[in-house]
Structure 1
Amino acid sequence: MSPDHDPRGAPRTSLERVNPPELSPPAGFSHAVAATGTRLVFLAGQTALDGAGEVTGSTLPAQFEVALSNLLTALRAAGGDPADLARVTVYATDVADYRAHAAELGRIWRKLAGRDYPAMAVIGATRLWDEQAMVEIDGVAVLS
């Protein structure tokens, strides 16, 4: 597979990561992602559910890894890959815990999704759909 083509062999969509110098330097996200392409993929919120529908992992990093893996599984099934992610929102039930694990979460992100960071936000949530879930991740990808 050519770096100029997606997993389906179609020409890769253009995603330009924009990080204006007048904004604070981003760490693990892009301030903006400009996209040109013909196909948008809207990825539903993913938690750390296993194949049986049970939440796995007792720590935020463990749940983040499973939730991100689930998001990427859905993305790949739609014909995309992590570099196609234009926007990701992370919902965390404990933002202080999320910040405390930021370095570890960054390592997990890079291991699973690489260094093409999408525009990203972390939002505190009182509770997620699955009561045991500590984190949920949704996103939008742009495919050619």
Structure 2
Amino acid sequence: MTRSIINPAGLHTPTDYGYSHVVSAPGEQVFIAGQYGSDESGHVVSEDFTDQVAQAFANLRTALGAAGLSPADVVRIGTYVVDHDQARLEVLLKHLHATWGTGLPAQTLIGVAALALPGMLFEVDAVAVRAPGHG
């Protein structure tokens, strides 16, 4: 699938912050629910933020794969961080750049007081686009 990434003049360069300003792609939208650092039974894998982010991104790749998609098909993500701070942002940036390099999806990061389950520290949802004729 061909995604168009636009970081227009007049806006700051967002890739160092882990996102692109505008991403568009032709095709069918696929919505991936919030994925968190859970094992197959739904239990949080660790109390450690870094472990939870790694597992959440692994779970996102699993969900995308089940739809016949990959991170390359993602045009937007939402990330939710309990007790957001610079250290947690650095962990998230590492995983964002490992997953997308500089071709980052649009993103909204929201700092939250708590998530759905006790012990959850991170969650990521996604919108992907299935290319026309695939699927």
TM-score grouping bracket, smaller chain normalisation: 0.7 to 0.9
The letter of the residue matching 1:56 is V
Corresponding residue number in structure 2 for 1:8? none
How far did residue 58 of structure 1 move? 2.1
Is 1:122 the counterpart of 2:122? The answer is no
Is 1:23 the counterpart of 2:6? The answer is no
Is 1:32 the counterpart of 2:22? The answer is yes
SS of 2:25's partner is: strand
The letter of the residue matching 2:125 is D
SS of 2:125's partner is: strand
* Count of residues paired in the alignment: 128
Is 1:94 the counterpart of 2:80? The answer is no
Is 1:60 the counterpart of 2:49? The answer is yes
How far did residue 34 of structure 1 move? 1.5
Using the size of structure 1 for normalisation, the TM-score is: 0.82
Of 66, 70, 78 in structure 2, the residue corresponding to residue 81 of structure 1 is 70
Calculate the aligned-residue CA RMSD, in Å. Answer: 1.4
Q: Which runs of 5+ in 1 are unaligned?
A: 1-11
Corresponding residue number in structure 2 for 1:3? none
Distance 1:127 1:109 in 2: 22
